[in-house]
Amino acid sequence: MSKIRVYELAKKLGISSKKLISILEDLDVDIKNHMSSLEDDMAQLIMDLISEEKGGKKPKTEAQKSAELPRKSEEEINKPRVQKVILPPKISIKDLGTRISIEPVKLIRKLMDFGLMVNINAEIDFESAKKLVKEFGYEAEEENQLQLSNQQEVEQDRPEDLKPRPPVVTVMGHVDHGKTTLLDAIRETKVAASEAGGITQHIGASQIEKDGKTIVFLDTPGHEAFTALRARGAKVTDIVVLVVAADDGVMPQTIEAINHAKAAGVPIIVAVNKIDKPNANPDRVKQQLAEYGLIPEEWGGDTIFVNVSAKNRTGIDHLLEMILLVAEMAELKANYNRKAVGVIIEAKLDKGRGPVATVLVQKGTLRVGDAIVAGSSYGKVRAMLDSRGKMVKSAGPSIPVEVMGFSEVPNAGDILRVVSNEKEAREIAEKSKEIHREKEIIATPKVSLDRLFDKIKQGEVKDLNIILKADVQGSLEALKQALEKCSTDQVQVKIIHGGVGAINESDILLASASNAIVIGFNVRPDSNAKKLAEQEDIDIRTYRVIYDVVDDIQAAMKGLLEPEYREVVLGRAEVRALFKVPNVGIVAGCYVTEGKITRNATIRVIRQGVVVYEGRILSLKRFKDDVREVMSGFECGIAIEKFNDLKEGDVLEAFINKRVEQQ
């Protein structure tokens, strides 16, 4: 007997997959999802039933439909609706009373019930205010950039105002697996002949047509951009297409991409690329990805796999069909008839045009002439270009456009909103700058082992997210198992990403977006990762013994972790030549790339991000002279005590353990 998939049958019947699944469930047909298969006789039965329903039954009148609706009780019609109120991080009792139209004396009495004695001018924090207004039938939301103008932006759109919108897709995967080639193939295959050659303006996003429907692709340079936007609270992607080369299989960046997509809660479609190669093995890719929770639908899972050759332009249509299918199942909708809200994808200062930014519209319709604000930047839309470089007058939900008319260059991830006029836009931008300054002064610190116990006590931490990097796969697996066993009733330890190799910028960005700590086992952060970690206040811990990692995590969770010493990196030097010296051994000819190398420091040998040795400096020389320290930008000779296995390209990191004064 032949079979047909649910989504294929839905297409035949001219109904949505979601509706067909609902019909099948009513008939007690055992299916998992839209990729499940149906026998021919069952498919024929469904077709007959739906044909009967379409042709034989008269549609119900509005009066009949109304009569069938369940009646609400008198109590439910008269029940007061919960009102929303936006409050700043701190507010006085007097101002709070004005905002919710309640006499301050009533608020003071209620606070006395809570055990707080305050006067009319006393300030309370947001959490206290939220609890207080709840007693009077209000739901409080904290004021932020999106809520500076007015309350209407916070309110939800009415279901009847929502219409389908195009899906926004991000292509991710390991370097050299064909992400860019695939995007180029999609563009060349799907851009109409009349528009070929019209792609003159690169705006960081592109839109294509398939079966009369639009799909938007974000041309993000990689996982960093994807996570950087998410770290700023911008949810821009609906679907991730994970590109895996059929001849290469799963690689470190593939795993990284999976973890980034999962952390963002975005569905994944796997594009198995390079199937034209002689050594291509798509089944091996499926087997490898199944280990990371991406199980093909033919194996009983719900992940769609599509075989493609970006080079030969094969499988592209099928991939686009699957994207539209996943989008249909997600029921992506937005309100087109409201003031536009979008997110800044890219921004730059153009020599001839001034500040320009690529905006992905998320709600409403953005029009030329609209007053706009994004972070501390404001202005009026002077002109807009679409992804093919053509001037457009308006852009609806999911559509990317390059916008001109900003007062200054906004930041990627900033939320763009249309407001009533430029004066209002300027006021909001100035208020945004003020809030940003305040936040910098009283910035909430990210989770760290030092602060973990306090946050657990305050109920702020229920999950301890960890990004784990190790020197070899064996250590990584052992650490994962050991750390996951540290979970308690109060705190769940979650390894949100694990990988082999040095701690890099991508790890820090993921930690920032997920409020995680980074643990390195026999590996070190590279220079860029270290700088970014300081900037983002990310806690990086490095270890050489598995038990020390487990002990520290457990001690931190119990409030017993009291670090008395903290490692301070003094500098780094690169090994550029090796010399054999009698009675000394191997001396490394080095160039100090950052900081300084001091004679009394401990030295760490790092090879391709992995720590291969730690020990003491035997000798430090400039030319033939012994010196106490060598600064950045100078050359020197370094010999390491009891270690001669140095290689050109090794990085020598000098550090000391500094005592931390107890508070």
Q: Splitting the chain (663 residues) into consecutive groups of 10 residues, what average pLDDT does each group show?
A: 81 85 78 82 77 54 41 45 76 85 82 73 82 88 54 63 93 83 80 39 76 85 58 77 92 86 88 93 94 90 93 92 93 93 86 88 95 93 90 94 92 88 90 67 59 64 83 80 82 85 87 87 88 87 87 77 70 93 88 94 91 92 90 94 92 85 43
Running DSSP on this structure, what letter comes out for residue 298?
G
Q: Are residues 180 and 321 in the same domain?
A: yes
For residues 37-71, one letter each, b for 16 or more C-beta atoms within 10 angstroms of the residue's C-beta and e for the rest, the string is bbeeebbeebeeebeeeeeeeeeeeeeeeeeeeee
Annotated binding site for GTP: 173-180, 219-223, 273-276
Is residue 77 situated within a structural domain?
A: no
H/E element, 367: strand 366-367
Residues 606 and 622 in one domain: yes
| Token pair of 572 as six digits | 């780094």
278/170 same-domain check = yes
What pLDDT is stored for residue 64 in this prediction? Answer: 42
Length of the chain: 663
Please, are residues 505 and 528 in contact by the beta-carbon 8 Å criterion?
yes
**Amino acid identity for residue 83 in this structure:** Q
User: Do 347 and 322 share a structural domain?
Assistant: no
What is the per-residue pLDDT for 345? 85
189 and 286 both lie in a single domain: yes
Structure tokens at 32: 């998992």
Per-residue pLDDT at 145:
41
Residues 379, 417: one domain?
yes
Domain extent at residue 139: 83-143
- How confident is the model at residue 227, as a pLDDT? 64
264 and 324 housed in the same domain: yes
Q: Does 592 lie in the same domain as 648?
A: yes
Residues 250 and 277 grouped into a single domain: yes
In a domain, 151, yes or no: no
The answer to whether 389 and 201 are in contact (CB under 8 A) is yes
Q: What is the DSSP string of 213-228?
A: EEEEEE--SSHHHHHH
CATH of the domain at 394: 2.40.30.10
- In angstroms, the CA 419 to CA 371 distance is 6
Strands 239-245, 268-273: parallel, antiparallel or unpaired by DSSP?
Answer: parallel
Rounded Cα gap, residues 151 and 165, in angstroms: 24
**The 205-210 sheet, strands edge to edge:** 205-210, 213-218, 168-173, 239-245, 268-273, 304-307
Q: Which residues pair with 542 in a beta bridge?
A: 520
- In the beta sheet, which residues pair with residue 658? 566
Return the H-helix or E-strand segment holding 644: none
Residue 148 lies in a domain: no
Distance of CA 579 to the CA centre of its chain: 48
The contacts of residue 614 (CB under 8 Å, 6+ apart) are 544, 602, 603, 604, 605
**Phi then psi for 540, rounded to 5 degrees?**
-110, 125
Amino acid making up residue 144 = N
Q: Is residue 414 part of a domain?
A: yes
The letter for the amino acid at 520 is G
Q: How many domains does one find in the chain?
A: 6
In this structure, the answer to whether residues 421 and 489 fall within a common structural domain is no
So what's the pLDDT on residue 608?
86
Residue with tokens 């093995």: 281
User: Phi, psi at residue 635, to the nearest 5°?
Assistant: -95, 155
Question: Are residues 301 and 205 located together in one domain of the fold?
Answer: yes
How far is the C-alpha of 597 from the C-alpha of 629, rounded, in Å? 5
Q: Would residue 60 count as lying in a domain?
A: no
Residue 285's identity, in one-letter code, is V
Listed residues 417, 441, 465: the one ending a domain? 441
Would you say residue 212 lies in a domain? yes
Q: What's the rounded Cα separation, in Å, for the pair 301 and 72?
A: 41
Q: Are 552 and 599 in contact (CB under 8 A)?
A: no
Q: DSSP H helical segments within 272-315, as ranges?
A: 282-290
Distance of alpha carbon 570 from alpha carbon 654, whole angstroms = 5
Q: According to the model, what pLDDT value does residue 65 have?
A: 41
Domain boundary at 277, 306, 331, which? 331
In order, the DSSP letters of 507-576 are: HHHHHHHHTEEEEEESB-B-HHHHHHHHHHT--EEEES-HHHHHHHHHHHHHT-----EEEEEEEEEEEE
Binding-site residues: 173-180, 219-223, 273-276
Residues 132 and 180 in one domain: no
Q: Beta strand 625-626 with 610-622: parallel, antiparallel or unpaired?
A: antiparallel
The CA distance from 654 to 567, in Å, is: 10
Cα angle 625, 630, 633 (rounded to 5 degrees) comes to 120
Q: Residue 541 maps to which CATH number?
A: 3.40.50.10050
CATH (domain of 202): 3.40.50.300
Q: Is residue 159 part of a domain?
A: no
CB burial class (10 A; 0-12, 13-18, 19+) of residue 589? middle
118 belongs to a structural domain: yes
pLDDT given for residue 275 in this prediction: 94
Q: Which of 410, 441, 472 is the last residue of a domain?
A: 441
